[in-house]
Chain A
């Protein structure tokens, strides 16, 4: 009853003209960023971060939730119609979605993808509501050692899941943490790595780093490529309806994808991308028609598209319940909250009920808006791809420059933006992933504070920090996470040798 009452309060928060405007704006902007290859939800959020200063915290959260969900919807459109994944989470959809389009079933693929996203989004929001409230009550028992364990384990799992080389991912995490140590130490007042420069003494903000790595870095990367002509497969309105068999074959994958996606969303790293691959593999394995996969199987669209949307909902749980973002995009969301003087954590739901429940309600409405927008306006959204990149890229750069400057009218921020833009561009070509750097930059200060407080509480006894029930469980989970794949490999090898 409490949840229903709070949800109703959330709807009263969202159903105001300004917040509804943010829901629609976020959904449209998210869809566009999902459609445009290269500019994902992270880039879009990073670019818009400075704009959130001019809205209240609830509005900012509503806008970002719309962008995040919208990007997942938008990415599938180009995957199905053009065989171009607008977003990393839509790569899998290309496999069967485009094949369906070539067979004249593009409309059905788009509808199944949109409905699947809606179903998954709704299931994930319910999961988020229940899990976040439960976890935040549980997290009230957390002390500094537990927060240290959550932060550390999050980064370790992230290292395992992101990038092509573990060493490179570790370097990026350490680099991010090193950047986070720049500035005055809040406990002792000692200046660290500021080299006598006053502005560096204030520390390096997330905004110029995120906008540099994901805004400028992406633009520099995209500007290298010559523009190719895109050939869009035409879809008529009457072709949008799937057949009865197609509906029947999609229902199971949608539900399985939703549950899988939500569970994977709770894991640190690019969960929305991983969830699509896992869902595709599961569907292929249990399907009665595995031979159709890769040739236009509707399950290959319904499952992954549901999974990536559900993963977004799942990823919100650790941020809202613990104040720990597990994906780079949510690190930017955390940045937006901090800009408004709100520190997310176990108390957020109690202290800021309007913000939390308003955002949840906006997700319900946003999901509905996205289905209504995406199907009839599919042609309009695809037409966005016709805007020349040669015009779009300079405009994004100008937006980043102005956005960063407007944050605190600082020339130093512009220099940081330039430096991290160049770093983002250079390292990307060498197989380094920028995401761990951003997460480490956000989690670094929290980890440091928790570590120092823990050591003080335990009088320097590291064992007392580790051997606490919650900490121990988290560390064991990480060990299992690393050992399990190798153990399974060995087990399989032994079995095959025995056979």
Chain B
């Protein structure tokens, strides 16, 4: 309970910060006149309203509340697996950077392998084989069947030449 309240406070702070940054960005835009509105009219309106409502949310999040009754722990669900969600989040964030350098096949295989390990689907060898198979199959489907051009290197060229 304490954790989720903490999270709510952090989100409220981030939202207010976002509104301020957005309003700051609006300063560079011309509002124009009502009869000839400029590019900044709607952003200004959005910015002001955003600041107002994120401030209300901020106040609500930080307002002291009555402590809720202790939850009944009988029949409670299993503890959440944060390790898996963190692992997947890291994979999604690093994917574009890896793709630029390692190209499609290697990047997709590495990312999928790491996610399978985080979720403990199979042992290392099983996960590795699945990752390689999925990345090769998806490369063939998207690249050859659908004509998508992925960043390619030696491995991609090799598969294309074999095909």
Contacts and interface: CB of A to CB of B under 8 A. Distances in A.
A281 interface: no
A405 B149 CA distance: 10
Interface in B39-60: 39-43, 46-47, 49-50, 53-54, 56-57, 60
Interface stretch (A4-12, A41-49, A75-83, A395-403): A395-403
A193 interface: yes
Contacts of A421: 89, 92
Interface string A405-434: 110010100110110011001110110100
A174 interface: yes
Interface string A168-186: 1011001101100100010
B37 A455 contact: yes
Contacts of A422: 89, 92-93
Contacts, number: 172
A432 B61 CA distance: 13
Given A175-B50, A178-B43, A402 B108 contact: yes
B4 A429 contact: yes
A493 interface: no
A35 to B, nearest CB: 21
Classify chain A's interface size: 35 or more
Given A178-B22, A178-B46, A193-B25, A188 B92 contact: no
A401 B95 contact: yes
B153 interface: no
A423 to B, nearest CB: 10
A333 to B, nearest CB: 21
Interface string B58-101: 00100000000000000001111110110011011101100110
A398 B81 contact: no
Contacts of A409: 148-149
Contact of A415 (B89, B96, B138): B96
B35 A402 contact: no
B132 interface: no
Given A177-B46, A219-B88, A391 B96 contact: no
Residue among A175, A388, A421, A459 with max Cβ neighbours from chain B (10 Å): A175
B115 A397 contact: yes
B53 A226 contact: no
A418 B81 contact: no
Contact of B42 (A181, A221, A228, A429): A181
Interface residues of B, number: 66
B125 interface: no
Nearest to B80: A224
A394 B120 CA distance: 11
B111 interface: yes
A282 interface: no
A405 B91 CA distance: 15
Interface of B: 4, 7-8, 11, 15, 18, 22, 25, 29-30, 33-43, 46-47, 49-50, 53-54, 56-57, 60, 77-82, 84-85, 88-89, 91-93, 95-96, 99-100, 108, 111-112, 115-116, 118-121, 130, 134-135, 138, 142, 146-150
Interface of A: 51, 54, 167-168, 170-171, 174-175, 177-178, 181, 185, 187-188, 190, 192-193, 216, 219-221, 223-226, 228, 388-391, 393-395, 397-398, 401-402, 405-406, 409, 411, 414-415, 417-418, 421-422, 425-427, 429-430, 432, 447-448, 451-452, 455-456, 459-460, 462
27 contacts: A51-B146, A175-B50, A178-B47, A188-B30, A192-B25, A192-B43, A220-B89, A221-B85, A224-B85, A226-B80, A390-B116, A390-B121, A391-B116, A395-B112, A397-B111, A398-B108, A398-B138, A401-B92, A402-B108, A402-B138, A411-B99, A418-B93, A427-B11, A432-B11, A452-B42, A455-B34, A460-B35
